[in-house]
Amino acid sequence: MLYPTPGLTKDDRRVLDELETMREALRYQVAEPRRWSGQLRRNLIAHAIQGSNSIEGYQVGLDDAVAAVAGEEPMETNPSTWDVITGYRDALTYVQQLGQSREFAWHHMLLNALHFMMMRHDLAKWPGRYRPGDIYVDEAHTGRRVYTGPDADDVPALIAELTDWLTDGEPGNPLLVRASMAHLNLVKIHPWRDGNGRMSRCLHTLVLARDGILAPEFSSIEEWLGAGRNTYAYYDVLAEVGGPTWQPENDTGPWIRFCLSAHHQQAQLVRQRIDQAARLWDLLDDWVNRHGLPERVVSALQLAATGGRVRRPVYQRDEALTDDQAVRDLRALAKAGMLEQRGQTRGRHYVASAALRDLSAPARRPKEIIDPYQR
């Protein structure tokens, strides 16, 4: 028996209706080709990688997370953490592909394959194989035991029940509710020696990817879950709903409310970033035209203005330039006082100058993110 889907409250249905309206609006916003959309997608994936891994204690700066998505080498992350980050990147990349797969089927070996991608850097953790024995979750700062997983002999049957449910169980329930319940059940089954939290968040994103309405990078709540106090709230609701052992008779209503609130707030943030990206691009495009520079340099300015590091290889690939063209463009922006060079040789990159930060400030003003259950 899995943890069951709860009955939805009036507030749950209101939030779901609002989310459906937001998702439809986002779908139309991202469907129309924009010069800035590729950079936005890459940053959203980087935020998801950064957020999900930070929950497990693997810290990576956003610039290096972006580098992982772009296939570049890190500037600050140590090799062991980089293995974790690139493994998770590969799993998310596969999730993006599975969202469009015509041959897709839910199966325990699909989950094991995703787990192998994440954990292949450490064979001692049995990547792609279920745990051979008991598993426990202890609180990091106290050592207190907070969860004991089900018996290892029960894991294959529980995963089979989960994949059967994913195939055709409760098809009338809203997609976001189904994704949230898949997340909860997988993390409570805890089928692997390590990586169970990351796999459960990845499964949540995969269920949404299969919907096809919105690309997974615009639907994932992994960034939100990894942000500050949200992580503590995430652990708290898992403990409240899941219990200290496998207890599928528990009320899962608080978990659904938590996840719907997370989706709503992340959707607000994504919508805000889309609006900001559009305003910022127009503002920078106007500056570039007035200064007689090629339009393509707007992408470099956009990245720097949003706090990113501009690396010559990434800019060159984004704009399909030669080495000489990319170097000339970045030097021209530095000469114009919009970028500042940092580092040397392989570590060389460019960041926003004070002038660029001042110019872009009106387009980057954040709006308040509101919890839909606390209005």
Query: What's the chain's average pLDDT?
Result: 93
Picking from 154, 200, 213, 164, the residue whose alpha carbon sits closest to that of residue 55 is: 200
* Confidence at 245, pLDDT banded by 50, 70, 90: very high
Residue 30: what pLDDT? 75
Hey, what amino acid is at 228? G
Residue 32: what pLDDT? 67
* Confidence at 33, pLDDT banded by 50, 70, 90: low
Q: Of all residues in the chain, what percent carry a pLDDT higher than 90?
A: 82
- In sequence order, what DSSP letters do the residues of 180-212 get, joined into one string? HHHHHHHHHH--SSS-HHHHHHHHHHHHHHHH-
Tokens for 332, please give them: 């021209």
* Confidence at 303, pLDDT banded by 50, 70, 90: very high
Residue 270: what pLDDT? 93
Can you name the residues that pair with 147 across neighbouring β-strands? Answer: 137
Prediction pTM value: 0.93
Tally Cβ neighbours within 10 Å of residue 106.
18
Q: Where are the domains of the chain?
A: 10-270, 279-364
In this model, does residue 184 exceed pLDDT 90? yes
d(CA 327, CA 118): 36
Which range (27-31, 271-275, 282-286, 360-364) has the least confidence? 27-31
* Confidence at 217, pLDDT banded by 50, 70, 90: confident
Q: Which CATH number fits domain 279-364: 3.40.50.150, 1.10.3720.10, 1.10.10.10, 1.50.10.20?
A: 1.10.10.10
Long-range pairs for 313-317 at CB < 8 Å and ≥24 separation?
A: 313/72, 314/67, 314/70, 314/72, 317/70
Q: Could you read off the pLDDT of 107-136 as tens digits, one per residue? A: 999 999 999 999 999 999 999 999 999 999
| 310 DSSP 8-state letter | B
Superfamily the domain 10-270 falls into: Fido-like domain (1.10.3290.10)
In this model, does residue 138 exceed pLDDT 90? no
* Confidence at 18, pLDDT banded by 50, 70, 90: very high
Residue 141: what pLDDT? 75
| 125 DSSP 8-state letter | G
* Confidence at 332, pLDDT banded by 50, 70, 90: very high
Q: In 3-state terms, what secondary structure has residue 342?
A: strand
